[in-house]
Amino acid sequence: MNLGINSHYDIAAASILLIILLMLAAKKTIPIKRSFIFFSMCVVQIMVVVCSVLMESEMSIAGHAVGIKAYFFADLFFAFEYFCTLLFMYYMLLWSGKSFRSDKFAKFMFLAPVLAYIYIMSDNFLHHNLYVLDAEMGIIGTKRLLILGGVAIYAVLFGLIYATKHVEIISFGKLTVITLITLLVLAGMTVQYFLTKDFFINYVVAIAMLILYEIAQNPSGILDGNTQLMNRQIMEEILNIDIANKENFDLIIIALDDFKIVNKTYGIEMGDVMLHQVANFMNTLTRRGKVFRYGSDQFALQLRHGHEDIDEVLDTIKERFRHPWIYNELAISLSTTTICVCYPNDGDTLNGLIEVLDYSLLYAKRQGKGSVVFTKDIDLNAMRKEKAIENALAEALKYETLEVYYQPIYNTERNCYTSAEALVRLKDEKLGYISPEIFIPIAERTGRILQLGNFVFEKVCEFISENNLSETTIDYIEVNVSVVQCMQENFVEQMLEIMNKYHVRPDQINLEITETAEIEALATLQSNVEKLHSRGISFSLDDYGSGYSTLGYIHQFPFRIIKLDKLMVWNAFENEKADITLKYTVGMLKELNVDIVAEGVETQQQQQRLSNIGCDYLQGWYYSKAITAGEFANIIERKAS
Ligand code: C2E
Ligand code: MG
Ligand code: MG
């Protein structure tokens, strides 16, 4: 083998490597081993280039007799060049996110090329048996150099395969690019072996390093633009590595309360300034731990066990949030909900931990602003049950095993059933019957309510059309719709599309909505209700008397019916004050010209009194529980012709 040496390629390679180093220095580094190994690879590669140039100049000075200095630089050149392949193997092992400490086979497979490298290199330093330097021919490799090349190829492929096997941390796309550029380098080495005139391999490696930097090491893809904190993706990667290495840690999440209000009141720019300030404050809380941006208004602080006192950190957070955050003479008070999760006590996998973390956040938010919750104080069984229900609901939606029951509603004037309420039923093989009171809020939180709502509405429309409802005394079916559904931009179109499909008339549908404190898109909700109302669909306000600012709701929306909550009805029969309230409520609602449905009618006494005070419709077990579609179809009366 004869390698001609050409320093133009080396100068270009050195320039590229220096640019990478400058970029690394200019940006914030991600404090993980992978960054350090990449940095080391760059430095070692620069050493390769430097040695290669020095060797070349020594050889040209020496004329025909190659001196000891040239051998010295050539030795270093080979040592660094092949050391870099070992570093690359380690780099890829780190990308796998797995620790092979407990995997003896992987450990051996990793150590074998390292030992082979150490043996071959040290032997070369003593006996110069890897190559011969010739002033005219350049570097003449021996068989040993071929063996070293084999070791390098093995190391590179082992690293790639190991990372591919555990393709969780790194995306498939990135891994493919890394594989391609690695194959490019290997191909370059092979070509170099035959084309000895130009020494270009350092240049190829430098280009590969530049691509590697761009796709895998460029911190701008990992850091949050505003706060310069590491984002959730890298947080998950770091936690995964710690979990694989069984390094115990605590995680404190602080979630700013009502941060949307800050954005709305002071503007997004000021919101960003506040987030930046909170991020800076979080950075002061730890010297050895790490800070991440967990969500748009949430931060995570990872503390290693035994290094920092979690109570002290929590006290500092509490104390800081007692004071306002100042910017341009503006003082803004922020409050935060804080949770603490501990690995491995609260979960021994990343997914398990994140599940607990999200549930704890939800729980803490329910406790009220400013609360601090330790996961150890939460009943995690409740979370697991909720998860099981979530899964049961997902299954039921997938296999369409949800059922829609109907509870007939009695018309006190016409003395027959003139409507019915559609009520969804979920039965699970393992969990048994699950009440909608339990699974509807879960469906709302997880977004499944949209699919569920459409399913129920479609079933109702199908029922109306199959049973020729217009020929019976049943004028319309009441369908519960969640506010989450009504706030969707395409809600109106979806409803109308389903009705058209089954040729259902608008007056055969009545949509029930329950008042709620958490309306995020009031304008969309109002406009959707208006649009459907203008098409002839009527609306009911459900559970009146159980909630909040009920009168505001009645004024804001065009309700045709108000449904009195069952507790309001029941209380009236137990307590005189509640009875007076009910009587005057009915009177007031009559004045407002709406129809009244009393829910929860269970006894004859209730039925009589409620019709006497003026309720137009009665619904309850006194008449019928919710029954299957088939049972309901059987009791519907045909219209007298
Ligand atoms: P809701 O809309 O107020 O429905 C009335 C609830 O009272 C039903 O409970 C019904 O079975 C129950 N009920 C009716 N009469 C009596 C009675 O005389 N005594 C007693 N003790 N209970 C009576 P259910 O079916 O468990 O539904 C609970 C809630 O779940 C509903 O309250 C509604 O808010 C929600 N829901 C049910 N189906 C759907 C649905 O398809 N979509 C949505 N978004 N929510 C639904
Ligand atoms: Mg209802
Ligand atoms: Mg109700």
Nearest alpha carbon to residue 179 among 126, 216, 148, 146: 216
Lowest mean pLDDT among 38-42, 478-482, 517-521: 517-521
Given a contact cutoff of 8 angstroms between Cβ atoms, the answer to whether 294 and 232 are in contact is yes
Task: Give the atom of ligand 1 at the shortest distance from the alpha carbon of 435.
Answer: 26
Q: Lowest mean pLDDT of 30-39, 261-270, 424-433, 475-484, name the range.
A: 30-39
The pLDDT-based confidence of 6 (bands split at 50, 70, 90) is low
Omega before residue 324 within 30° of 0, cis: no
Ligand nearest to the CA of 407: 1
pLDDT band, very low/low/confident/very high, at 307 (cuts 50, 70, 90): confident
Q: Residues lining ligand 1, judged by CB closer than 6 Å?
A: 407, 423-424, 435-437, 440, 456, 480-482, 512, 514, 542-543, 566, 599-602, 619-621, 626
**Residue 549 in this model has a pLDDT that exceeds 60:** no
| Rounded distance between C-alpha atoms, residue 445 and residue 437, angstroms | 13
What pLDDT shows up at residue 163? 82
Percent of the chain at pLDDT > 70 equals 94
Shortest-distance atom of ligand 1 to CA 485:
44
Tokens of 417: 């059933």
pLDDT on residue 64: 59
| Mean pLDDT, residues 586-609 | 96
Q: What is the pLDDT of residue 402?
A: 96
Atom of ligand 1 nearest to the CA of 601: 18
Ligand 2 center from residue 478 Cα (angstroms): 8
Q: Are strands 538-544 and 509-514 parallel, antiparallel or unpaired?
A: parallel
Mean local confidence (pLDDT), 491-519: 91
Instruction: Look at strands 432-434 and 416-428 and give their pairing.
Output: antiparallel
Question: Among all ligands shown, which has an atom nearest to the Cα of 564?
Answer: 3
- Lookup result for tokens 């990449």: 38
**Token pair recorded at residue 565:** 């909550």
Supply the residue whose CA is at minimum distance from atom 3 of ligand 1: 543
Q: Which two tokens stand for residue 520?
A: 């995020």
Average pLDDT over residues 380-405: 92
Q: How far is the CA of 108 from the centre of ligand 1 (A)?
A: 64
Band of the pLDDT at 226, cuts 50, 70, 90?
confident
Q: Between 1.20.1070, 2.40.10, 1.25.40, 3.40.50, what CATH number should domain 2-221 receive?
A: 1.20.1070
Structure tokens given for 467: 């049973």
pLDDT computed for residue 518 by the predictor: 66
**Residue ranges covered by each domain of the chain:** 2-221, 232-378, 401-635
CA atoms within 13 A on the CB side of 589: 29
Structure tokens that stand for 448 in this block = 């499944």
Using the structure block, give the residue that is written with the tokens 């003449």: 140
Closest to 437 (Cα-Cα) out of 447, 423, 448: 423
Q: What average pLDDT does range 432-441 have in this prediction?
A: 95
Q: Are the beta carbons of 477 and 420 closer than 8 angstroms? A: yes
Q: Nearest residue CA, atom 20 of ligand 1? A: 600
One of 1.20.120.450, 3.20.20.450, 3.20.20.140, 3.30.450.40 is the CATH number of 401-635, namely 3.20.20.450
CB-based contacts of 635: which residues, under 8 Å, 6+ apart? 408, 417, 624, 627
What's 215's DSSP letter?
Answer: I
Asked if residue 291 has pLDDT above 80, the reply is yes
Please identify, by atom number, the ligand 1 atom nearest to the C-alpha of residue 565: 3
- Which is nearest to 475 in space by CA: 617, 288, 575? 617
Q: Which residue has the higher pLDDT, 396 or 224?
A: 396
Of 22-26, 128-132, 329-333, 608-612, the range with the highest mean pLDDT is 608-612
Q: How far apart are CA 408 and CA 426, in angstroms?
A: 20
Please choose, from the candidates 412, 408, 414, the residue with its C-alpha nearest in 3D space to the C-alpha of residue 616: 412
Q: Looking at the DSSP assignment, which residues form a beta bridge with residue 365?
A: none
Give CA–CA dist 155/174, Å, rounded: 20
Expressed in angstroms and rounded, the spacing between residue 417 Cα and the centre of ligand 3 is 18
Give the SS3 label for residue 235.
Answer: helix
- pLDDT above 90 covers what percent of the chain? 58
Compute, in angstroms, the gap from residue 600 CA to the centroid of ligand 1: 10
**Cα 2 to middle of ligand 3, angstroms:** 89
Centre of ligand 1 to C-alpha 489, Å, is: 26
pLDDT of residue 2: 39
pLDDT, greater one: 65 or 92 = 92
Q: Which residues of 477-498 are buried (b: 16+ CB within 10 A; e: fewer)?
A: bbbbbbbbbbbbeebbebbbeb
Mutate to test the pocket of ligand 1, among 433, 480, 481 (most ligand atoms within 8 A of CB): 480
What are the structure tokens assigned to 589, written together? 């609602």
* Nearest atom of ligand 1 to the alpha carbon of 440: 45
CB 131 within 8 A of CB 64: no
Q: Is the pLDDT reported for residue 367 higher than 90?
A: no
Q: What is the mean pLDDT of residues 234-261?
A: 89
Q: Is the pLDDT of residue 4 over 50?
A: no
Dist. CA 599 → ligand 1 center (Å): 9
444 CA: nearest ligand 1 atom: 44
Cα 284 to ligand 1 centre (Å)? 51
- As a dihedral over the C-alpha atoms of residue 8, residue 14, residue 18, residue 19, rounded to 10 degrees, the angle is 50
**Nearest in space to 272 (alpha carbons), one of 224, 321, 235, 335:** 224
- Identify the pLDDT of residue 520: 66
- Locate 568 and state its tokens: 């309001």
Q: Residue range 603-613: average pLDDT?
A: 96
Least confident range from 237-241, 292-296, 573-577: namely 237-241
Lowest model confidence (mean pLDDT) among 48-57, 505-514, 591-600: 48-57
What is the rounded average pLDDT of the residues 34-45?
93
**Of the given ranges (299-308, 384-393, 415-424, 461-470), which has the lowest mean pLDDT?**
299-308
Strands (E), 100-172: 131-134, 138-141
* CATH code 3.30.70.270 for 232-378: yes
Weakest-pLDDT range from 134-138, 295-299, 327-331, 570-574:
134-138
- Of 495, 516, 599, 606, the residue with max ligand 1 atoms within 8 A of its CB, to mutate for a pocket test, comes to 599
Question: How much is the pLDDT for 71?
Answer: 87
CA-481 nearest atom, ligand 1: 44
Q: What is the spatial distance between Cα 495 and Cα 457, in angstroms, rounded to a whole number?
A: 8
Q: How far is the CA of 467 from the centre of ligand 2 (A)?
A: 22
pLDDT, position 1: 35
Minimal-distance CA residue to ligand 1 atom 8: 423
Mean predicted confidence (pLDDT) in 484-512: 95
Q: What is the pLDDT of residue 375?
A: 81
Token pair listed for 617: 């419709």
User: Would you call 424 exposed, middle or buried from its count of C-beta atoms within 10 A (0-12, 13-18, 19+)?
Assistant: buried
- Range ranked top by mean pLDDT from 21-35, 142-156, 447-461: 447-461
If you average pLDDT over every residue of the chain, what do you get?
89
| Structure tokens, 83 | 């050391």
- Average pLDDT over every residue of 567-575: 94
Q: Which of 397, 404, 423 to mutate to test the pocket of ligand 1 (most atoms within 8 A of CB)?
A: 423
Q: Is the pLDDT of residue 592 over 90?
A: yes
Q: How many CA within 13 A on the CB side of residue 136? A: 1
Number of the ligand 1 atom closest to the C-alpha atom of 456: 41
Q: What pLDDT shows up at residue 103?
A: 75
**Does residue 98 carry a pLDDT above 80?**
no
Q: How far apart are the first and last CA of the chain?
A: 106
Mean pLDDT of 206-213: 93
